[in-house]
Amino acid sequence: MEAAASSNPRTLSGDKAQRIVEAMRRSVARRGVAGSTFDHVAREAGVSRGLLHYYFGTKERLLTEVVRRDGELKMEALEAQLGEAQTADDFIDLLVASLQDLVEHDPDLVAVGFELFTLSQRNPEIAAEYAELQRGMCQHVATVLAAKQEEGVLHLAAPPAAVVEVLLSLADGLALRMLLDPQRDHRETIAAGVAAVRALVADPA
């Protein structure tokens, strides 16, 4: 493990931050966490190794920042899209499109997320940060679901937070299956997932 420079990562913004995050994401997807040293990431990002130490302390904290930044961007985009849904079918179609876009165009993010989960099982500090990230994501989407229920667009079969937990679990599992076997036709699997989601968010009548 890289030596820590600080117990809390400092704030880094702008082009350098984006280059570092992208470099770490690519490195983890190719090499895993163990093989993604600060030397690799610094070289790919075009910054000094010392800069990574100063702002992040450890590569585990940098990995957490990658997931945090990517998650925030994905959630903002998803919230904006879901906010425009006028029917439960609109809502479900947007969820499916978001999943397919993630698997097709951003598979590295899926890989990084699972790497961070694995790491969190051995590192209590990272586990706490990862759990906080997941709670934040759930709260954001739950707010959208609650608003759509108020509008009469959705008819939730359980409290919004519980529905979100199931939706994210389905998305994680489906993304993993789709990436493990990209040559397989997953349409029937997705259709089964849609049926499960419809039971959670649509009026059974």
**pLDDT tens digits for range 26-83:** 887 788 777 888 998 999 999 998 888 888 888 878 888 877 877 777 778 778 888 8
Is 168 domain-assigned? yes
Q: What is the per-residue pLDDT for 202?
A: 93
Across the range 92-108, mean pLDDT stands at 91
Does 138 reside within a domain? yes
Average pLDDT, the chain: 85
If you compute the radius of gyration of the chain from its CA atoms, what whole number of angstroms results? 19
Interatomic CA distance for residues 44 and 23, integer angstroms:
6
pTM > 0.85: yes or no: no
Write out the residue range of the structural domain in which residue 147 sits.
66-201
Q: CA distances (Å), 125 to each of 12, 26, 45, 112, 129, in order? A: 21, 24, 26, 18, 6
Question: Could you tell me if residue 180 is inside a domain?
Answer: yes
User: Which comes out higher in pLDDT, residue 126 or 193?
Assistant: 193
Asked if residue 133 is part of any domain, the answer here is yes
Strand, coil or helix: 47 = coil
Lowest mean pLDDT among 79-93, 110-124, 160-174, 175-189: 110-124
Distance, CA of 99 to CA of 103 (rounded, Å): 6
- In a domain, residue 3? The reply is no
Q: Residue 99's domain is classified under what CATH number? A: 1.10.357.10
Amino acid 109 reads L
Domain count for the chain, please give it. Answer: 1
Q: Is residue 171 over pLDDT 70?
A: yes
Token pair recorded at residue 48: 């000094």
In a domain, 84, yes or no: yes
Question: In this structure, is residue 157 part of a structural domain?
Answer: yes
Helical spans, DSSP H, in 36-123: 38-45, 49-56, 59-83, 88-105, 107-120
Please indicate, yes or no, if residue 19 is contained in any of the structural domains: no
